[in-house]
Amino acid sequence: MHFLVNYVKDNLQSELVTHLYKSDQAEELLNESEHIAHRRKEAADMLKVSYIEFCALILFIHFRACSFLFRFLFCVLKRPVIPLPAE
Residues 24-58 have pLDDT tens digits of: 777 777 788 899 999 999 999 999 999 999 999 99
Q: How many whole angstroms separate alpha carbon 21 and alpha carbon 1? A: 31
Per the structure, the count of domains in the chain is 1
Q: How many whole angstroms separate alpha carbon 40 and alpha carbon 58? A: 27
**Could you tell me which residue, 75 or 53, shows the higher pLDDT?**
53
pLDDT of residue 83: 62
Domain presence at residue 73: yes
Q: Which domain holds residue 54?
A: 34-79
Of the candidates 31, 33, 30, 9, the one whose C-alpha atom is nearest the C-alpha of residue 21 is 30
Domain presence at residue 65: yes
Domain presence at residue 5: no
pLDDT of residue 37: 92
Domain presence at residue 62: yes
Domain presence at residue 6: no
